Amino acid sequence: MKPLHLVCVVGARPNFMKMAPLLRALAEYPHLRPTLVHTGQHYDKNLSDIFFEEFEMQRPDVYLEVGSGKHGQQTARVLERFEEVLHKGPPDGGQFDRVVVVGDVNSTMAATIAAVKLGVPVAHVEAGLRSFDRTMPEEINRIVTDALADMLLVSEPAGIENLRHEGHAEEQIHLVGNVMIDTLLHQLPKAKHRDILSKNGLKPGQYGIITLHRPANVDRPEVLAKLLDVLAEISQQLPLVFPVHPRTRQRIKDFGLSDRLSRPPGIIALKPLGYLDFLALTSQAKLIVTDSGGLQEESTALGIPCLTARPNTERPITVQQGSSTLVGSDPHKLREGLEAILEGRYKSGSCPELWDGRAAERIARILAETAR
């Protein structure tokens, strides 16, 4: 079979756990030849390197070092540098046949634009998700990426509906399941052996996890202060572990809110964690409060109650079938949700179809067939 030269693109933290299972699945097909490109959107050890180690993932073949910046800057740097990678072509000569992108970060969209302009088709993993909220940078990234990609690999049924509605042809759309859950199921046995709970004096089922990093929650002092106030209050009853994203840490400092994180027994603020420590914590938590896309899905797969601090979600199955509830940036709704969980009045959910650990295998099979 003739070789198919793929360029797989990663850039920011949520990309690594989606690409790792895919690279493993692609390795089953000798004619698929992936080149891994890391844009460098995230560069801190705990936002990037650690995942390569933990997933035993191949190191990037190319590193674009775009770093942080305004949206336009970051996008432009990826466009310019990724275009050069495509011009250069695969290591053994010839041209790249296809680019594979995952998720909805700036790197995803920028790599897609560069590729299609050069006539290289794009497969988008996690296609079709829509929050219908264009104030979110990720929504713009999703819309642009899907408009340009020709292979749309979808994680939940709503994605199929959205893509149909936007006029994509049926043969472009494939319901494959959730690659992020592939990684979760693959890593869960290892995560159970971590000592992160005991190190922080935590007992299974007797603490909560917080993650907050979206501009809507952390960029306005009055919003962030009210959310932290509720969390600090609840943390007097249930310890809350908060691995703090660098942008959130900066905002807390800028807004003079650091005291909210330091009232014992209170909130346990940590640096961003690696995948295994974080999974050890989430999988044994009583509850999760988050504004992350991935964590909404992971909590649903794990069956852990999750209060999602967003007014909408592009992942509706996590609310309709899963264990998530939208509370927006509203401190009252957050408090009500937390009380319902603590008093045992919270709904139970179930794991969506095809979130079974085999999504990457399905994607690799579809890609392999395009080489025939």
Centre a 10 Å sphere on the Cβ of residue 175 and count the other Cβ atoms it contains. Answer: 17
Which DSSP string corresponds to 189-237? HHHTT--HHHHTT--TTS-EEEE---HHHHSSHHHHHHHHHHHHHHTTT
What backbone torsions phi and psi does residue 75 show, to the nearest 5 degrees?
-65, -45
174 catalytic per annotation: no
CB of 83 to ligand UD1, least distance (A): 19
Cα 83 to Cα 64, 88, 334, 371: the distances in Å are 11, 9, 44, 23
Whole-number Å distance between alpha carbons of 342 and 178? 30
CB of 107 to ligand UD1, least distance (A): 7
Centre a 10 Å sphere on the Cβ of residue 170 and count the other Cβ atoms it contains. Answer: 9
Nearer to ligand UD1, 20 or 234 (CB): 20
Contacts of 35 by beta carbon, 8 Å cutoff, 6+ apart: 5, 6, 7, 8, 61, 62, 85, 90, 91, 96
Whole-number Å distance between alpha carbons of 343 and 337? 10
CB of 6 to ligand UD1, least distance (A): 22
Binding window for ligand UD1 (CB under 6 A); candidates: 2-10, 41-49, 186-194, 222-230? 41-49
Q: Which of 39, 41, 112, 313 binds ligand UD1 (CB under 6 A)?
A: 41
CB of 175 to ligand UD1, least distance (A): 23
Cα(first)–Cα(last) distance of the chain, in Å? 7
Q: Is 219 in the site for ligand UD1 (CB under 6 A)?
A: no
Cα 228 to Cα 153, 242, 281, 310: the distances in Å are 37, 11, 20, 15
Binding window for ligand UD1 (CB under 6 A); candidates: 10-18, 163-171, 174-182, 220-228? 10-18
CB of 257 to ligand UD1, least distance (A): 17
Site for ligand UD1 in 85-144 (CB under 6 A): 105-106, 137-138
Q: Is 40 in the site for ligand UD1 (CB under 6 A)?
A: no
Q: Is 44 in the site for ligand UD1 (CB under 6 A)?
A: yes
Centre a 10 Å sphere on the Cβ of residue 89 and count the other Cβ atoms it contains. Answer: 14
CB of 137 to ligand UD1, least distance (A): 4
Binding window for ligand UD1 (CB under 6 A); candidates: 25-33, 36-44, 326-334, 354-362? 36-44
Site for ligand UD1 in 228-257 (CB under 6 A): 245-247
Nearer to ligand UD1, 38 or 98 (CB): 38
Instruction: Catalytic residue, from 168, 213, 245, 332: name it.
Output: 213
Q: Which of 22, 47, 86, 230 binds ligand UD1 (CB under 6 A)?
A: 47
What backbone torsions phi and psi does residue 78 show, to the nearest 5 degrees?
-65, -45
Whole-number Å distance between alpha carbons of 132 and 124? 19
Catalytic residues: 213
Q: Name the site residues for ligand UD1 (rule: CB under 6 A).
A: 12-14, 41-44, 47, 68, 105-106, 137-138, 213, 245-247, 292
